[in-house]
Amino acid sequence: MRSSSLLLLSFLVGVCDIQGALGFRICAFNLHHFGDSKSKKSDVMQTLTRIIARCDVCLLQEVRDSKEKALPQLLDSLNRYDTDHVYDAVASERLGRSESYKEQYVFVYRTGAVTVTGEYQYPDDLPGDVDAFSREPFVVRFKAPKTVIKEFVLIPQHTTPTNTTKELDALYDVLQRVRKMWKTENVMLLGDFNADCGYLAKKNRKHVRLITERNLYWLIPDKTDTTVRAATSCAYDRIVVHGESFDRAIVPSSAKPFNFQMEYQLTEEQALEVSDHYPVEVLLKDLPKVTSNGASSLTLTGTQETANQKTTQSKFLSLFVASHLALQMLTQ
């Protein structure tokens, strides 16, 4: 009995592995004071590059690049590191209420995977609620022809910790405006929402329409830890999708933080030099690709398509054998 359970387990692990190799990855990463001084640390830049190169589209937050050199340097590093793809970026203006502290939203993307079809800096002019945000969402529309959803809109937000409840609620108004303006239901909201621990009290959640209204799917659960520090466990960074058809286009259970400290075997101190947040990410389903002989196969993203395909095939084979053996044992 024990060995058959083991086989079943390996079967399940195999299935998860295969899913992990597929899909179009969207990430959101708070880079914690990204600017001149970070760009001068080559090991930090290398880790940032490795993290961002995993994503088809990556939202960067806390970009504080007043000299406007750190971001071009990061793009340069990405394009040198991953020569299978070409990376480009769209960035907001420097946003913030005070002259001395501003941040930009930046979307880094693979030019072969998406095209930018619209940009909208939310003007924060809603009658009765003018200037709701400290960092107004810089909304970007993407066309992604190889995904089942084909086209989607990303609404970024890095909330001000002390105003989290208010700003999260106001994001609902941004969502309504964008749906109307671009006549689309396929909207994702993402970023460091500060939506946990001391910044979003349980009793305040009923006042947040982004939580209470129907048709919104919070993909990163409340118990998730998106913070690097071992001493903290908070689900600050979130991904929320609007609409059932967008939810169906998500690879099930693919939304999670990316623990780069563990993945790249860094000490806590080394990881904190990169950021105090983990990125969060989610996979969109790829369109099935019709090959020349008419058979349908799966489209893969990633750096080594053929290698991936071979591993996938051999995994299917071992899955088949494993499940066959498990079945035999169970029926003995």
Ligand X SMILES: *[C@@H]1O[C@H](CO)[C@@H](O)[C@H](O)[C@H]1NC(C)=O
Residues tagged active-site: 103, 158
Q: Which of 97, 207, 229, 248 binds ligand X (CB under 6 A)?
A: 97
- Of the pair 163, 308, the CB lying nearest ligand X is at 163
User: If binding is defined by CB under 6 A, does position 174 make contact with ligand X?
Assistant: no
Q: Is the dihedral of CA 292, 295, 301, 305 positive or negative?
A: negative
- Of the pair 56, 167, the CB lying nearest ligand X is at 167
Q: How far is CA 315 from CA 38, 123, 306, in A?
A: 41, 50, 14
Q: Which of 43, 131, 222, 305 binds ligand X (CB under 6 A)?
A: 131
Q: How far is CA 212 from CA 209, 216, 312, in A?
A: 5, 9, 40
Stretch in the footprint of ligand X (CB under 6 A) among 156-164, 195-203, 221-229, 315-323: 156-164
User: If binding is defined by CB under 6 A, does position 163 make contact with ligand X?
Assistant: yes
Q: Which of 160, 270, 308, 311 binds ligand X (CB under 6 A)?
A: 160
What the block records as the tokens of 292 is: 């020349």
- Beta-sheet strands, E only, within 162-299: 187-192, 216-218, 237-242, 256-257, 280-284, 288-290, 296-298
User: If binding is defined by CB under 6 A, does position 170 make contact with ligand X?
Assistant: no
Asked whether the beta carbons of 99 and 41 are under 8 A apart, the reply is no
For 96, the 3-state DSSP assignment is coil
User: If binding is defined by CB under 6 A, does position 3 make contact with ligand X?
Assistant: no
Q: Within 13 Å, how many C-alpha atoms sit on residue 230's CB side?
A: 8
Stretch in the footprint of ligand X (CB under 6 A) among 58-66, 129-137, 150-158, 238-246: 129-137
User: If binding is defined by CB under 6 A, does position 66 make contact with ligand X?
Assistant: no
- Of the pair 21, 197, the CB lying nearest ligand X is at 197
Give residues in contact with ligand X (CB under 6 A). Answer: 97, 131-132, 134, 160, 162-163, 166
